[in-house]
Each structure stands twice: as structure tokens, then as C-alpha cells.
Amino acid sequence: MAGDKLPEDFQKVEREGVMFVDSIFPIRLGVWDLRHYIAASQQLRVMSSLQDTLDRITLPGFQVEKLEPRIKDGGAFVKFKYMQVSSKDTEEPPLDTPSLEAELKKQIRSLGGIRTWIGNHAGDVWLVRGRPWKEDMRRYASNDMKVFFEGPDIYQETLYDIMRHYGQISNISNPGPVPAGTLRFSTIKFANPRAATRAHNCIHGFTLVDQPAIPGQSTEVKPTRLATVYERKLKGQAIWDWFTSHPRISVPILVFLLGSLSYMIFDPIRTLAVQAKVVGWLDFQEFRIVKWFRRNTIDRIRFFRKKELDAEPPTSVDNEALWKDRKEAENTLRGYLSETPSTIAFVHGPQGSGKSSMLNRALRHADRKVLVIDCEVLNKSRSDSDVINGLATQTGYWPVFTWLNNATGLIDLASVGLIGQKTGLSSSVEQQQKEILEVVGNALKGVSYRYREIQRTKEVRKTLATQTEAKLKETMEKIQEGVYHDARIDAVAGTGVTSELGIGDERMTEKDVYRSNKPPKAVEKAIVKVEEAITSGKEKVQQQFDSTSQPEKENESEANKDGKLGAIGSIQGAVQGVVKEGKQGAGKLWSGAKDQLGLSPSPQQQPSHPVPEYPQKAEVADEIKALPVVVIKNYSTKNTFTDELVVVLAEWAAGLADGGLAHVVVMSDNRDNGRRLEKALPAKPLTSIAVADADPASALSFVQDKLDQYGVQTTLGKEQKLQIERLGGRSSDLESLCHKVRNGLSIEMAVEDIIARGVGELRKSAFGEEVEEGKTMRWSPQQVFFILKSLAKSTELPYYDILLDFPFKGDEAALRSMEHAELISITTQEGRSSTIKPGRPVYRFVFERLVNDPIFRSVHDIALNEKAIASAEATIRACEEELLKLEQIRPLDSGILSSGATRQRADYLLKKIYEAETKVEKLENANALLKKSLKNP
């Protein structure tokens, strides 16, 4: 056509156009799409191949002006020129898109196609009908594409005709209502993103005039410009909108996800943290490098060593005198720790009696992993979150989120308003404590399992070392016997009888050792020596026989005959001895010959190494040693925040002991706290271990040993011993005495200082220094003063006599509260309360000092008497009221047939009124005298 002559009314016009080449790069679907970076490295090669292909197109005047890669959409824009034949009457003829595009596709296919980034020839060309929009925003291709109408709406049929050319269309939506000032749009869903990229790059900016919906309708139609934008499959707010609009579904899903997150992520971390706490992985003082550094630096300085020795508690050897009365308790605890756990060991005794020292010695002897929970620290908590944090810190439970409890409470409150029910995210303090202890229990299982694995590894290593040593010994024996053969030489010299090593002539096995045609010389010498020994033995026997066979007299007695028989017997014994001696000598010579000639038995006949046999008791001991020990100290509750904690601890401890997971030792100053443990473990009795104060002799011995340890040279005299006996056997008081004497006080002054300090403490703990403190106490000042006054006179009081009489009148809670406060101690006999004693032995003298204070005694005697007066007056009033009622019913019990019951009852009431009135008068007089004494202090 280029060489043909055109008609006069036609001409060739140079036109410009843009086409989009697709499929030469991968379509980038997001920031995460790594194919984009691989394609970018191939950009130069792909664009060069595209240029070569386009240069070979033979359309009239076709010339490539510019190539612009469009890697994000997987293609490139090509700006080109070509010659188009058109009529001379047309000022600007339109681009013949269908025929030009078809011709370009045809020629490109004939040239082998367009090379892509992966090496195939799947590229294709599409003429751009709109205006190319070359942007680099993060708008990535998708199957959905929005077509905005800048003008009148375009019907679906027209859109389909335009867009179907670029690929399969799944759906086209009608334009929906939009706010004023916003363009209307339709959404086109393509079958694949490649078709959407073609349509976007070829149609964007295309302007057209749509035909009216009704053919032949004469209306003025304005042109419409199309603008295309990819529609994101997942909107940024879609998930949030769905969750907020479906709370009945989203809230349970959220709860499940949070629970799964805690179970799968945090619980393993917490378990590992608890194991690190128990085993001591994170204790830097146990690191080898720290120990080495300390041993070679600080421990070499005398000052630091002396300071550590002073801070160390006395050893069991030093305190043997004090602890000799408590050996039974310590042995019971050691026996419990050496058996399979099935119950809880409950150690109870007064504060300062040495429970912790006894437990520390038992644990040091057992050499076990220990987890300690101190309830005293938890009792100082001022809120529920403090209790949770304290429990988590002591057990190593980490991480812990106490602030979530408040947040989940607010979420539950909002959930009730939204869906009418709680989400279940928030949990009570008791539930949180159980969750913490459950994780701790699982961690203790891991501690036991890890210990067993370490022991198995050690046994395997020991066995391998033993076998290696036995193998080496066996090899050395073969080398010494000359029967060792190194098989590695066979690869060089061969294994036949003609090899250079002389195989066949040398001894290669144990059998070759015994192969010999004649006996060795050493054996022959041994045989000769045996024969000579036998010959000499015969000669000696013959000489002895000849000497005893000569007759001295013809008429010999029976005694001489018996002597001859005895001589013959001795000769026979001598013969047997010579033969036996010869055999033993031959055996020794033969053994020596075998050792010299290498004729020892084969190692196969003897075990190469002894097989260790472990007794069953050792295996049981190892299993028990693998179990950790849980120690719950100061088991009691002193505020409302720990009331639930002691119950949860009891149930958890019972589960550990009953399941055989750990030995549990609970220490408490009050034996009544064991009732919670008995309730948690009802099927099995507790291992109860009572620790009492030392006797006077042990206390004196302890003080003397302690003073000698401190370097205080003193000899205890009679008066000093009496002063020490005033302190009793409480180890804490004896320790305090020794420290005061060490600091320069005499024993008398030290004891006096302890008693004076006890008086001050008792005033505060028993009566309260302020009114508010007195209100919080569970006993009245009159009750505690009555107890103090009674114990100042007697060392012990009958329990039930005090309980049923004034001022308690059956108020057992007051007595138990005093016992918890360690003001008194209640002893038991056959499971029931028996006597009341001072809480500490020194308290007897403290009570005396306090009661002997005239002002203090007068004030509290007046208060006690007034309470007794009030009680007596209440009795009088009650009797008077009953007498008035009897006066009303007296006519019914009068006459001849009267029983006299009313008169008898009235006499009883009158007698009671008389006794109460006498008591009131007596107490009133006593109060009057006491008040006079207060005027003259």
C-alpha cells in the first residue's frame, strides 16, 4: 500500500497514539509482593527486548517515540507515530482504533510475541483510548474497579461494550445515590486483575456520548468523561464496622481470642519464669563466673568475710543444746521429706520458737528445690491488686497484668448495656489467685521432669564412660597378651595367610594363646617341685611311724593302745596336710606361670567391667529428690484482702500433696489454722509437727554457747541463771538477750530491758494507744485485763472456767483472737482446749509488771467493776420483772390445792436479787476506794 498511488480525494496524515503493553511484568498486589523487586531488576532487559520487537513492525510510518514502564500494573506505555489514510475533507480524522490494534497484534504474533520478565512471550498490546495516568500512589490492582462519571450516567450496556474488550466481566453495579457534589460511579468486577489493569490504563480519561435509553428520543445529551480507580477488596474500616455492628458475635470471639492468647503465649512464659524462680536460673549469685569472681576478690578481704560470718545464723552444731528437745520434731519433718508425699506437713508453734531454723536445717539436709510463699508479706497488702502482685512476685509468676482487672470490669459494664450480658473477661480475685497457683503447679511438674532428665543424662554419661574405660582396658589386655589386631591395617596389607603381617603365624585370638605342643617350662618346674614336696612328706611320715611302733612292754595297758591310735590319727592328718599343701602350692605355681606366659582366661569369660546394681531404695530416693518442696510460711490472715487467699492456698497445697507433685510444708504460729488444711484435705490426716519452747536447762546452755560464740567471757551465776529463766525457752528472746549482752549490757539489765519493752508492746497490742485502734480489736479491754490479771497470779488457767465466767460469758471468739495476737496460748488435751498460758514465757513477768502499775490497775479495775455492776444490775432488773409477773399469777396458785411453785420461784428470784445487790454494793465500794487512789498518784 505504501507504493500504491492514493486517490485524489485521500491523503496520508501522520498521527500519534499510545498503546499499553501488558503482561511483561508481574502485577503488584501490595507492599508485601516481592515479585515487584525481582521484576525491577529485569526492567532494562525487558524494555530492550520490547524496543527490538516494536522496531520490526512494518505499519506505514510506524515509529516508536517513547517507552515508559508501568511496573506496578505489569506493563508499559508506548508512544508511537504512524501514517493514517483519511479524506481530505476531514480536518482531524479519528484514530482507527480497532483496525490499528488488530494489525499491531497480528504483526507482533508473527514476530514471536513480546518477551516478559520470566522469559516467555506472553505480552500483548492494547491501544489507549483515554489519557494515560502515570501515578505512583499505593493503589494496587484488584479485580474490582470503580468507574466515575464526570457527566451524565452511562448505561450498563454501554459500559459492558467498552470494558468487555479487555477481559471477562463478572458483574456491573448501577450507580447509587451519593452526597451532593460527589461523582456517581459504577463498580465493575472483572474475573482477574490482569483485565482490570488493561481497562484502567486504556479507558481512564476516555470521553463519550451515550445514546438515549429510548431510540429516536430527541434529547440533548452531554459528553461524559470516565475516570477509573481500583477498588480495594478490604477497606480499612470494614473489620471495625463489622465488629461494632455485630457485638453478639464479635464480643465472644474477642473473649476467645484473648483467652487463647493468654493460654498459648503468656502461660508458657509464666511457667518458664516460675521454673527459673524455683531452680535459680536467674540468680546471678549462683553463676560460675560470679562465684569465681567473689572467691578471688571479696572473699579474700578479711573485712567482708568477718561481716558475713557475723550475719550467718548459728549452725545446728552450735545450737545442739537448744535443739535437743526438738530433735523429734526435726526428725519427723525429715522423715516426711524422705517419703512420697500424700499429705501436708503442718508445723505449728509460737512465734520465735525456732520453726524457721528447724525447717532450714531439714531442707539443707534434703538438698531440694524450694518455693517459699510468705503470707506475712501478703497480709501487709492494702488492696486486692497488691495481693495479686505479691503472690506473683513470690512465686516468680511473670508477666502479670493487674490493671486488666479494672479494664475488664469496665468492659463488662459496657457489655451489659450493649448485649445484655457480661463478657466474662473480668474475674474475681479468688479466680486470679487460682489461675496463678495453677500455672505454678504446672511449673513444679516441669521442675521435677527436668531434674529426672538431668539425672538420666548423668547416668547415660556415666555408663558410656564406664563402657569406654572397660573397652580400653580390654584392648590393653589384648595388646599385652599379643592377640590384638588392628583391622585398619587390613586395607593396606590384606587379610590372607600370605600377607606381609604374617597372618596365620601370629596369635590373633584368645584360642591361639592356649595352643602349644608341650607344656611350658614354668609348668614343668612346678610339677617337679610338687613331686619333691610329696617325697619329703612321705619320708617324714615314715620316720614318725617307726618311732611310735617300738613296743616298750609286752603287757601294755589300754591307755597306751589309745595313745597309739591317736598317734596313727595324727600321722594320717599330717599326710593329708602334706597332700593339701602340695595341691595349693601347685595351684599357685600354675597361676604364676599363666600370668608370665599370657595364659590368663579370655576377657570373654570374665566380665569386662562390673555392672552397677542400684538398689530399689536408691531409685525411690532419686524420685523423691526430684520433687520440689513448697513452703508456706506464716500461714494466717490478718486483713480482709487475704481471707480468700488462705483458703485458695489450702486447696492448692492439698492438690499438690494429694497428687504427689511436691512436698508441702505449712508453718503457722497458731495450730487453729490447721483446720483450713484439714478441710481442704479431709480424707487424709495432716502430719502435725509441734515446736515448743526449750526447757530451762537447754535455754541456759544455749545462752552460754551463744555468748562464747560472740566472744563474751562470762560465768553464769545463780542470780543470772534466775534472770535467764524469767525469759523461758523462747529462742527469739534468748537471741535478743545475747545481742544485748554482746553490746555491753549485763544479763540483769538485758532481761529488765526485754520485760520493759514487752510492757510497751503489750499496752499497744492489747489495749490500743488510740480509740480507733481499740475499736478494731475483737476483744474488750475488760476481757484482756481480766486475763492479764489472772495470769499474773497463776502460770496457767483452766480454759472452760474462764470461758463460761464473767467477763467472757461464752465469748470464745475473743479468746481465739487473743491467741492469734499471741497474747495468750491455748493448749489442748485429747483434741479439746485445756489451759490458757501467756503467749510468750516472758509475758508472765510482763503481765505482773503491767498489773502492778497502780494507776493502770486502778483504771482497768474500775472499768471491770463497772461492767460487772452493769451485769448485776441487769440481773436485778430481769428478776424484778419476773417477780411482777409472778404477782399477777399468784391467785391461780393459792388455796388448799396450791403447789407452791410460784412461791418457790419467787424465793429463788429474791435470793438472786440479794446476791446481785450485795455484789453491786461491794463493787461500788471498791470503785470508790480506787477512785480515791487515783487522786493521789
* DSSP of 491-549: HHH-SSTTSTT-TTTS--SGGGGG--SS--HHHHHHHHHHHHHHHHHHHHHHHHHHHHH
Long-range contacts from 254-257, C-beta under 8 angstroms, 24+ separation: 254/423, 255/423, 255/424, 255/425
Q: What is the mean pLDDT of residues 21-48?
A: 91
Percent of the chain with pLDDT over 90: 39
pLDDT of residue 607: 42
Residue 698 burial (CB count, 10 A): 20
Burial of residue 839 (CB within 10 Å: 0-12, 13-18, 19+) is buried
pLDDT of residue 899: 77
Q: Which residue has the higher pLDDT, 288 or 114?
A: 114
Beta carbons within 8 Å of 247's beta carbon, 6+ residues apart = 415, 418, 419
Q: What is the mean pLDDT of residues 507-525?
A: 55
Do strands 185-190 and 797-798 pair parallel, antiparallel, or not at all (unpaired)? unpaired
Q: What angle, rounded to 10 degrees, do the helices at 696-709 and 718-727 form?
A: 110
pLDDT per residue as tens digits for the range 763-809: 888 888 666 666 778 899 999 999 999 999 998 999 999 999 999 98
Which pLDDT band, with edges at 50, 70 and 90, does 96 fall under?
Answer: low
Across the strands, what pairs with 824? 838
Beta carbons within 8 Å of 679's beta carbon, 6+ residues apart = 650
Rounded distance between C-alpha atoms, residue 342 and residue 361, angstroms? 22
Across the strands, what pairs with 668? 348
Which pLDDT band, with edges at 50, 70 and 90, does 590 fall under?
Answer: very low
Mean pLDDT of the chain: 80
pLDDT of residue 302: 61
Rounded distance between C-alpha atoms, residue 864 and residue 847, angstroms? 17
DSSP code of 123? B
Q: According to the 3-state scheme, what is the secondary structure of 339-360?
A: CCCCCCEEEECCCCCCHHHHHH
Which pLDDT band, with edges at 50, 70 and 90, does 493 fall under?
Answer: low
pLDDT per residue as tens digits for the range 363-405: 988 889 999 999 999 988 888 889 999 999 999 999 888 877 7
Three-state SS for 224? strand
DSSP code of 73? G
Q: What pTM, to 2 d.p., does this model score?
A: 0.61
Provide φ and ψ at 149, rounded to 5°.
-110, 110
pLDDT of residue 753: 93
pLDDT per residue as tens digits for the range 622-656: 889 999 999 999 998 877 778 899 999 999 999 99
Rounded distance between C-alpha atoms, residue 882 and residue 890, angstroms? 12
How far, CA to CA in Å, does 190 sit from each of 22, 141, 196? 16, 11, 6
At residue 410, does pLDDT exceed 80?
Answer: no
DSSP code of 298? G
Three-state SS for 827? strand
Three-state SS for 417? helix
Report the b/e string of 79-115 with b at 16+ CB within 10 A: bbebbbebeeeeeeeebbbeebbebbeebbeeeeebb
The residue count for the chain: 937
pLDDT per residue as tens digits for the range 106-153: 999 999 999 999 989 889 999 999 998 888 888 899 999 999 999 888
Rounded distance between C-alpha atoms, residue 78 and residue 929, angstroms? 124
Rounded distance between C-alpha atoms, residue 916 and residue 872, angstroms? 5
Question: Is the previous residue joined to 798 through a cis bond, with omega within 30 degrees of 0?
Answer: no
Rounded distance between C-alpha atoms, residue 116 and residue 91, angstroms? 40
Long-range contacts from 867-875, C-beta under 8 angstroms, 24+ separation: 867/780, 867/782, 867/807, 868/806, 868/807, 868/919, 868/923, 869/919, 869/920, 869/923, 869/924, 869/927, 871/806, 872/916, 872/917, 872/919, 872/920, 872/923, 873/916, 873/920, 875/912, 875/913, 875/916
The answer to whether residues 188 and 163 touch, using CB atoms and an 8 Å cutoff, is yes
Three-state SS for 449? helix
Three-state SS for 79? strand
Q: What is the mean pLDDT of residues 439-447?
A: 94
At residue 11, does pLDDT exceed 80?
Answer: no
The answer to whether residues 767 and 828 touch, using CB atoms and an 8 Å cutoff, is no
At residue 172, does pLDDT exceed 90?
Answer: yes
Which pLDDT band, with edges at 50, 70 and 90, does 571 fall under?
Answer: very low
Do strands 663-668 and 629-633 pair parallel, antiparallel, or not at all (unpaired)? parallel
The answer to whether residues 198 and 217 touch, using CB atoms and an 8 Å cutoff, is no
pLDDT per residue as tens digits for the range 55-69: 999 888 899 999 999
Distance of CA 31 to the CA centre of its chain: 41
DSSP code of 852? T
Q: What is the mean pLDDT of residues 269-297?
A: 85
Percent of the chain with pLDDT over 70: 76
Q: According to the 3-state scheme, what is the secondary structure of 21-56?
A: EECCCCCCCCCCCCHHHHHHHCHHHHHHHHHHHHHC
Of 205-209, 261-265, 455-459, 843-847, which gets the smallest average pLDDT? 261-265
